[in-house]
Amino acid sequence: VTSFEPVTTFPEGSGVIKVGVGDEHACALFSAGNIMCWGQGGQGQIGDGTGANRSTPRAVRNPANTADLSGATDLSVGQL
């Protein structure tokens, strides 16, 4: 979904403490230590293990055990 106007991705009180924006994708870090990403994912940017584009946020997966990532304390998003 493309929007040229700001949209609410996470409601107030959802626990988002940091947002990172990369090249056609974005990620949010939550106070609980989990990360969700959305946007272009053809090169694994979303981190859900699929390589698919996502119009809605998806949980970043731990590649070692495919469980949802937890315990993150910071977030950095870049360009591929």
Q: What is the pLDDT of residue 80?
A: 64
Q: How far apart are CA 14 and CA 58, in angstroms?
A: 15
Over residues 28-41, the pLDDT tens digits come to: 999 999 999 999 99
Rounded to two decimals, the pTM is 0.86
Q: Give the type of residue at 48.
A: D
CA quadruple 52, 53, 58, 59: dihedral sign? positive
Whole-angstrom distance between the N-terminal and C-terminal Cα of the chain? Answer: 21
